[in-house]
Structures are given as structure tokens and as C-alpha cells.
Amino acid sequence: MIVPRRQDARLRAYMKTVSGITLAVALFLVPLPMSHAQKRGSRAEVASKAARPGKSSKLATEIEAVLAGPAVARAHWGIKVTSMDGAAIYSLNEGQLFQPASNTKMFTTATALALLGPQTTFTTKVVTRGAFSSPGKLVGDVVLIGAGDANLSGRPIPYVPPAMRPQVPPEQQPPPSPAALRYLEEMADQVAKTGLKVVNGDIVGDDSLYPWEPYPQDWSIDDSVWGYGAPVSALTIDDSQLKVTVTPGTAPGAPAAVDVDPIAPYYTVDATALTTGPARSGDHVQMDRALGSKVLRVYGSIAVDAHPDEEEIAIHDPAEYAAAALKSMLEARGILVTGVARAKHRIDNDARGFFQASHEPIPSMDWNRVYPPAVSPADCANSCGAATQTVLAQHISPSLIEDMVVTNKVSQNLHAEMFLHNVGAAVLNDGSTVNGVRVVRAFLTARAGIDPDDFVFFDGSGLSGHDLVAPRATVRLLQFASTQPWFADWKRTLPISGEDGSLVERFGKSTLKNHVFAKTGTLSEARALSGYIECASGKTVIFSIMVGSHTPGSSADRVAMDRIVELIGAAN
């Protein structure tokens, strides 16, 4: 693709709205109550202290030299480094607000792990909604009920680091990946074994565990085409995305081939403006889809000698797609369906402003309790009497911790959003975005002790440009997590330098290979890296580095960031 893509979480790296900056300024100008200000000192005092790192120290001098480089000097930097017990080592603009990008996932996953527990699972069901007129003949609907399982896909679980994956010689074909719709196929097999032969009704994909609000505030509209910007739904099949592969034809001017995987009756592909280009002419394939449309337009050219172009395209309505796929599977198994495939959404009627509602405290919260997964309103076996439905099939997800490893290692946006919604559903009995953010905020302030003025979230993944975090808030989260019984589980979800996840290609030739455990983050002209460093002395320190407003399209800030991490590791 010639469209620039974001480096972390497959985000594209071009201009986004300045609304996040506007919000940061607005937050900065809101006066604090005197009682709170007296405890913390004035904002001016905080800013002054944050701007005065230990200038006499060797580490401070070295970091200043890195940040004075002409390629990064105009960017806005924030840094906080402490020992594991929280003792200060170095700081720069530690109290100022930055876009955290995928560093947001650390706040979301820590909250979910603490409140839901590492071994929590989610059960997806296929049920009847109606009555049987005779054995095998249903008058009513078959309903696929989403329960917040993010791994109804072909992804291998548990996550395996690249170095531990089987190495296939170049002359051999790698073994085929598990089928993307394997679990849906398994549930279709279960349905067929019940003896169901006729459905005089519809096949319904029900994602009403969450209200239908597929895109959090300030998700960029152009992200909605791509897999990393897939809409949020409690019924998610194969990460709510399709793999589209464009292969050049046999000669210049010949049509190029477009393949969609998994094949299911959903999108129509329009490739009338796609062609094969001359040798060495490069890959100039574009893809787009109008809002609400099920026509995917693929156009441009791909060189006759080019490798196939593979892209992940978001599914517009995941619940509808799941219903359509299940309907085709049931029909392939000899079950007659007289109706259609459709989605059942729950419309959100919460009229409160997001910012106000997300900041409401939860006074009765029991922070030491592990909450069971919420039950979908569609699951009548628990809410309206078992006589109205029959369970035909079900699938139990992998454990929450195994999904969390995938989420943080590869920076999977959709899964992080589902953690956020699942927390809101479990704690407040409503899986809305605002309730998920409200629970995360309450946990971070009341339980983790993070200053409420040091962060604001509008989603769970960091794809929203409205998200803002101070470096010291991230360090406080990392320090708090290290004292918790779930810390070992949570730490193993973080990418490891030169080894796996989004750090697999960073620090690989450094003395810090396998010694940095940290979450990356990239969103337009913002970047972040925060976590733990096992230093040259053998001790471990906590760090957070955030940068905003760097030069578009440049990776100089990432190079500088990695150099600072190396300096911290060598100095401590």
C-alpha cells in the first residue's frame, strides 16, 4: 500500500485533529480546589519542578544531549524514571499531558486483570428463540449471542514468541494457519447434531452485551476501513476483519486478482479499476469503502513482478457478518433457513456528557473483589426463563490472561476495547464505552493512587486522539502493578526488547536485548515507550518516555527514545 501506516498497532501516521491538544489546554486551565492544590502545590510549581531534571547528573547531561539533536529538538518530550519503590531518578515535563497512544492499553489491561481475574473466560452461545412445531422444525430465530470473546478466530493461543516458532526452510511451504472461522464451524456442527432441520425464522447475531457504539470518540474516520480500526462489538469473529490479497496478473495490463479470506457472504469487491503494472513499477494498490457500504473498492496497480499485497480490512457490522457466516454454514449442513441473516444491536440511551459521566466516582466499589463476566441481555436462560430458549451450541474462550498477552504484545486495538467494555459490563452491569472508562478511572485513582488530573481516557486502546496521560501517571501505574499479586501475569504481557511483540525489532543488537519489558505506542505525531529496564547494575527501574509533535513521517524520535532507554540502563 502507498498509504502511510502507523508503526504501532498498525496505525497510519498522518495528520489527525488538534482536538486532543485543545482538550489538554482546557484541562490545564481548569482551577483546582484549594484543598487539593495545597496538597500538590500549584500547577506552576509542578511544571517548574518537572522542567528541572537533575542537571548536574551525568544521566541528565546525556539525555539533554540526545534531545538537543536537530531532528528531535522541536518535539515535545516528557520523561519519568524511578526505582521500583518509586524513588525519583530523572524527570522532564513529568506532569505535562501527552497522547499516550497504545500506552493506554497498560491502564486498561491492568484494570481488567485486577477486576476480572486472569482465568476468566467468556462463553458464546447459539440458542433458539421460538418454539418447535415438530421435532427438528423451529418456528422462530436461531440467535448467536456474543459474550465479549475476542478470540473467535484462527489465532493460535497461547502467544508464542517469534524465536520459539517452528522454523520452516525456504524451500518448504509453511503449514496452513488454523481456519479463521473454525470456532463458528464447530458451533455449526453442534447445531447440526441436535437434529435441527428447518428454521422458519432468521439467523441473528446479537451483540447487545455492549450498546452499539462501534467507534469511540475521536477515532479517525479514515481508520475505519482498516483492521486496526475495526468497530467494537461483543460478537467479534476473526478480529472483525478480512484479509484481502491482491496478486498481479501474468502480464502488464492484465487484471490483478483479489482474494478475500475468510470467504463469507458480506462484502462485494469492485476491482474494475485495478490492473497489473510493468515490471519494477511497484505496488500502488488502494482500498476504500464508503461509510455504511458493503462495496469494497480496490483500485490502482501492482507490478507484474511484485509480491502479493495483503491488507486487513475491517468488517462494518461484526454481528451481522457473524450471522451471515453462520447462516451459510447451517445451510451447508442441510438445515433450511427461510429467513435472513441480521444483527441485533442495543441502542445506548445514556444522554450524559462523556467527560462528566466517565469522571463519576463509584463509591460502593469493592476493589478486592473479582467480578464474574456479565451475562448478555439476550441470554434468556438467565434473564427471562429457560423455557423460551434452547441452547444448541456454545464455545468457551481462552483465559483472559492469554488474550491479554496477545493484546499487549502485538498491540491489538479491538481486544483492548473489548477489555474496557467487559469491565464496564461486569462492574456496572452495562458494557458501554463510558462505563468502561469510568471503572478504569475509578480503579486508577482509588486503588492505584494515580492523580486524577494526570490522565483522561476516551477509549481502551489509545486510538482516540482525546486520550491524555502524564509520564508520572504511567510510572505510578507501573510501580503500583509491581506490588500486586497479579504482577507476574501482567508483566509477561509486555513486549520484550529484541525478542517479541512490538519490540521484536528494537534493542536487538543492544546490551538491553531481553532486558526491557515495555509497551510501545504510536499515533500520528505522538510516540510513547513505558515499562521496566533491567539495568547494567542488575537492578530494575521504571520509566516512561512520551513525545508529541515530532516531525511527520520521521522515526528520529524513536531512535532518540531508544538511545535514552540505553542511557538509563547504563546509568543505573
The percentage of the chain sitting over the pLDDT mark of 90, rounded to a whole number, equals: 80
- What pLDDT, on the 0 to 100 scale, is given for residue 8? 41
- What pLDDT, on the 0 to 100 scale, is given for residue 177? 82
Q: How confident is the model at residue 186 (pLDDT cuts 50, 70, 90)?
A: very high
- What pLDDT, on the 0 to 100 scale, is given for residue 168? 81
144 neighbors 322 (Cβ within 8 angstroms): yes
How does the average pLDDT of the chain come out, rounded? 89
Residues 96, 86: Cα–Cα separation, whole Å = 19
Distance between start and end Cα atoms, the chain: 43
Torsion, Cα 219 531 561 63, to 10 degrees, reads 130
Closest residue by Cα to residue 562 from 524, 490, 511: 511
Q: What is the pLDDT of residues 219-240, one digit of tens each?
A: 999 899 999 999 999 999 999 9
Q: How confident is the model at residue 408 (pLDDT cuts 50, 70, 90)?
A: very high
- What pLDDT, on the 0 to 100 scale, is given for residue 51? 41
Say which residue the cell 489491561 belongs to.
109
- What pLDDT, on the 0 to 100 scale, is given for residue 478? 98
205 neighbors 321 (Cβ within 8 angstroms): yes
Closest residue by Cα to residue 504 from 4, 99, 8: 8
Residue 11 confidence (pLDDT) above 60: no
Q: What is the pLDDT of residues 411-431, one digit of tens each?
A: 999 999 999 999 999 999 999
Which of 6-10, 40-44, 382-386 ranks highest by mean pLDDT?
Answer: 382-386
Residue 13 confidence (pLDDT) above 70: no
- What pLDDT, on the 0 to 100 scale, is given for residue 296? 93
Q: How confident is the model at residue 25 (pLDDT cuts 50, 70, 90)?
A: very low
Q: Which residues contact 419 (CB under 8 A, 6 or more apart)?
A: 108, 109, 111, 112, 404, 407, 460
Residue 380 confidence (pLDDT) above 80: no
Higher pLDDT, 235 or 29: 235
Residues 132, 178: Cα–Cα separation, whole Å = 35
Cα dihedral 488, 492, 400, 206 sign: positive
The percentage of the chain sitting over the pLDDT mark of 70, rounded to a whole number, equals: 88
- What pLDDT, on the 0 to 100 scale, is given for residue 110? 98
Q: Which element (helix H / strand E) includes 325?
A: helix 318-332
- What pLDDT, on the 0 to 100 scale, is given for residue 255? 95
Q: What is the pLDDT of residues 439-488, one digit of tens each?
A: 999 999 999 999 999 999 999 999 999 999 999 999 999 999 999 999 99
Domain 53-96+494-572 has CATH 3.40.1280.10: no
- What pLDDT, on the 0 to 100 scale, is given for residue 497? 98
Higher pLDDT, 44 or 287: 287
Closest residue by Cα to residue 526 from 219, 75, 73: 75
DSSP 355-421: HHHHT---TT--TTPPPPPPPPTT-HHHHT-GGG--EEEEEEPPPHHHHHHHHHHHT-HHHHHHHHH
Q: How confident is the model at residue 389 (pLDDT cuts 50, 70, 90)?
A: confident
Sequence spans of domains, the chain: 53-96+494-572
309 neighbors 174 (Cβ within 8 angstroms): no
Residue 3 confidence (pLDDT) above 50: no
Q: What is the pLDDT of residues 79-128, one digit of tens each?
A: 999 999 999 999 999 999 999 999 999 999 999 999 999 999 999 999 99
Q: What is the pLDDT of residues 145-182, one digit of tens each?
A: 999 999 999 999 999 999 888 888 877 877 788 999 99
- What pLDDT, on the 0 to 100 scale, is given for residue 533? 98
Residue 16 confidence (pLDDT) above 50: no
232 neighbors 421 (Cβ within 8 angstroms): yes
- What pLDDT, on the 0 to 100 scale, is given for residue 300? 97
Q: How confident is the model at residue 262 (pLDDT cuts 50, 70, 90)?
A: confident
Q: Averaged over 255-271, what is the pLDDT?
A: 88
